[in-house]
Amino acid sequence: MTLQQLVATARALYDDLDLECVRRWKDAVPGRKAVGHMPVYVPRELIHAAGMLPVGVVGGGDRLEIIRGDALFQSYICRIPRSTIELAVSGRLDVLDGMLFPSICDVIRNLSGMWQLLFPGRYVRYIDVPQNFDTAVGGAFWRRELERLRADFAELAGREITNDDLRNSIAVYNENRAVIRELYRERSRRPWIFPLSEAFLFLRAGNVLPPEEHTALLREYLREAPLDANRREQDHSRVILAGMFCEQPPHGLLVTLERAGCDVVDDDLLIGLRWLTRDVGVEGDPLDALVDAYLHASASSASRYAPDGDRARWLLDSYAGNHAEGVVFCAPSFCDPALLDQPMLVAGLDRQGVPHTEFKYSEDTGQFAVIREQAGTFSDSIRLWSAT
Amino acid sequence: MNVQRETSMTLQKQLLSDHYDALARAPEEGKKVVYTFVPGNLNELVRSFDLLPLLPEINALQSGMRKLSGGYITEAEKHGHSEDVCTYVKCDIGMSLRGNIGPTGKPLPKPDLLLLSYTGCFTFMKWFELLREQYDCPVAMLHVPYQADGRVDPHQRDYIVQQLRTEVIPKLEQVSGRAYDEDRLRAMLRRSARAEDDLVWVLQSAKHVPSPIDAYFGGVYYIGPIFSAFRGTDEAVRYYAALRAEVEERIAAGAGPVTPDGPMKSERYRLVVEGPPNWTSFRDFWRMFYEEQAVVVASTYTKVGGLYDTGFRHDPDSPLETLADYCLGCYTNLSLPARVDLLTRYVREYRADGLLINSVKSCNSFSVGQLLMLREVENRTGVPGAFIESDLVDPRYFSAANIKNRIESYLQMLDQKRAIA
């Protein structure tokens, strides 16, 4: 495919609120099943090993009119649960045979209970990840949770999940995460070749495509984008985006940041796709390998306890490692984890003299003028300081 | 105006005042202080090490009742805390920024340990991560899994017990300089169970018609000692025995609840309430009910620090396992279907006329899903529900006129329903 075709493919998947692509995947082989999951971490390897398709559900963005979803939430609740409910009650998620709710915050936790009440008989599970990272304690707990998920998925799929199935799926996802890491590295090196507004579409495709196809798509993108002679380095500032790990920003917001002169060289968008920061072991017991990776090689995120007390470490490491010039805190309105985390991150940056700016969004934000002005001023000020 | 108080309230006031005095004297007396939370608190364990518990949520609600929380919240927001997040957290942080003066007017001590019981509320974790930035002291993290399936699984209990053994107890030993004494803990748990028996008796006395208690506005006083620093102490046993005797007398006399304006003379509406109260206008809020002769006969807020009326009691024979079960069973750690079941049961068993939800902006753990819960309970019981919104300690979110209007309209609707029936 040409780059234009690749982008069009990724954009079509992004726009596919009805999950037609999932329907097509299921229809291709009778009996196939798909399991949805909310953002941040779920062990997708277990779903894949059962021959099912993991489907990331990240709300309705700015392309969905919310009617019934709003009737179930107070005004001070963030946007993602209401659009997710809207997707479900409008039948768009009927293609999913189950739904998983990771422990991100109290909103997503309670949403799992709402699902139980609204859709009795459908498979629903809350994924309670450990906040204790001792192998014998939190690890033992997480292993039991994984064993239960494995049994559930085997029942849902109507087939056993063998250790070899699981090792194969781990290898598939290792490859997928590796190519995502490569995309991030390349973006950091040459952000004008892989602008975030475009790369984001390719990452989002990972929510609905089988991982093997997603890996292939990313590889093609990595190959084709540098061949576009129109992509030239611009006088932009190198910034990191933080706070977008759950409710995703509208695509227009990412375009706005770029137009405001920001090259985004790292971010926490769709963090679940690259939650595990190294390959999971493919030798030995596969559940133990998943446990070990979760405990010792997880991304840093507001929803995960930081036992060492250094909440801003990941941001400072990214700042240094990506030669960034500033940080843009961009959190969804009413997002408790991101907004409670932010003062600690800000304090960490201030101690090191790292420039930063903050604003909020919701997935259906439609007016970007203020954000453009703020981000533009921030970008200009960075370049001004860099020049002196 | 003279505020009417039950005898037990005077007793409780003294308990709290003595405790805050002890906290104020702690640095000079060399006593060590543990900050912790109400849901999933390990009071018996903390006390068994002769450590003094201090609960920032209680400080925040008291600041709310003393009309100080608004200023504290503004202070925290000035320091970069978002207007969107929990006001308990901001009230606590604002209070510490302004010198951490406790309710008795004396400065509260800094923590020697932050005991982060992550039970039923995600925000707790962020709250103590924020405090950790402020205080140079160790943190003991106790992660309590969520009862998503409406039951406790053995591996959830094992996980908590293992954390108690490997994380919490070693840190309590380190801070206190004392060894873990299981016999001492058992003795305290035995006292907890006695107090819990009396508390449950008091809460269930509201099944009488008329109810001798208000199980929400009065109830928040009744749960005070057992939800905070006194569970497992002799003082708590004495308090609950006195409270029970007081309620027994009221039942014998056919008397209703005691309100700040005196005993209620008649009971016209029996309500179940879901959600925490507003603290900044607590008395005004209560008055909106008792002026209409509305009595709250059961509430879920009085179960956040322990759900005892479904049968749980601390068991001295399995000290760590019972603490695990206690943590797992706190109200906001229950799934939404389990909360709907409990509310349905309350409506039926307490012969309630209605269910009122006070949805607070600060607490997503409580609030997310409440509109659906309301609908479910209405469907199951046929009893009509009502929904009001306020906040815990942010006075900007308590609109007295709106709330009063809603309550009055709701009660009128209950009257019309009765008339039709």
Determine the Cα angle at A327 with ends A343 and A190, to 5°: 155
- Residue A88: which domain range? 31-165
Q: Which residues pair with A360 in a beta bridge?
A: A331
Total number of domains in chain A: 1
pLDDT, one tens digit per residue, over A64-100 is 999 889 999 999 999 999 999 999 999 999 999 999 9
Angle between helices A369-387 and A251-259 (to 10 degrees): 40
Closest partner residue to A105 (CB to CB) among B122, B370, B372 is: B122
Mean pLDDT of chain A: 96
Closest partner residue to A128 (CB to CB) among B125, B148, B376 is: B148
Closest partner residue to A305 (CB to CB) among B125, B365, B368 is: B125
With respect to residue A254, please indicate whether it lies within any of the assigned structural domains. no
Q: Do the Cβ atoms of A141 and B155 come within 8 Å?
A: yes
pLDDT, one tens digit per residue, over A268-307 is 999 999 999 999 999 999 999 999 999 999 999 999 999 9
Q: Which amino acid is at B87?
A: T
Instruction: Give the domain CATH number at A49.
Output: 3.40.50.11890
pLDDT, one tens digit per residue, over A225-247 is 999 999 999 999 999 999 999 99
A116 touches chain B (CB under 8 A): yes
Helix, strand, or coil (residue A168)? helix
Cβ B321 vs Cβ B335: under 8 Å: no
- Measure the CA–CA gap between B165 and B138, rounded to whole angstroms: 17
Q: How confident is the model at residue A388 (pLDDT cuts 50, 70, 90)?
A: very low
At which residue do the structure tokens 């070899």 appear? A164
Q: Do the Cβ atoms of B162 and A112 come within 8 Å?
A: no
Q: Do the Cβ atoms of B129 and A306 come within 8 Å?
A: yes
Q: Which two tokens stand for residue B283?
A: 């008395």
- Cα–Cα distances (Å) from A147 to A35, A48, A52, A104, B327, in that order, read 17, 15, 17, 21, 24
- Measure the CA–CA gap between B52 and B32, rounded to whole angstroms: 6
Nearest one of B62, B57, B55, B92 to B76, comparing CA atoms: B92
In this prediction, residue B4 carries a pLDDT of 62
pLDDT, one tens digit per residue, over B379-408 is 999 999 999 999 999 999 999 999 999 999
- Which chain A residues are Cβ-neighbours of B368 within 8 angstroms? 73, 77, 81, 106-107, 110-111, 114
Q: Given the cut 0.90, state whether the ipTM is greater than it.
A: yes
With respect to residue A95, please indicate whether it lies within any of the assigned structural domains. yes
pLDDT, one tens digit per residue, over B131-180 is 999 998 999 999 999 999 999 999 999 999 999 999 999 999 999 999 99
For domain B7-183, which architecture applies?
3-Layer(aba) Sandwich (3.40)
Q: How confident is the model at residue A141 (pLDDT cuts 50, 70, 90)?
A: very high
State the average pLDDT over residues B315-319: 98
Q: How confident is the model at residue B3 (pLDDT cuts 50, 70, 90)?
A: low
- Measure the CA–CA gap between B107 and B218, rounded to whole angstroms: 29
- Measure the CA–CA gap between B345 and B352, rounded to whole angstroms: 10
In this prediction, residue B104 carries a pLDDT of 79
With respect to residue A141, please indicate whether it lies within any of the assigned structural domains. yes
Could you tell me the sign of the dihedral formed by the alpha carbons of A186, A191, A193, A198, in that order? positive
A309 touches chain B (CB under 8 A): yes
Cβ B380 vs Cβ B344: under 8 Å: yes
A236 exposure class (CB count in 10 Å sphere: 0-12, 13-18, 19+) = buried
For A160, residues 6+ apart whose C-beta sits below 8 A from its C-beta are A154
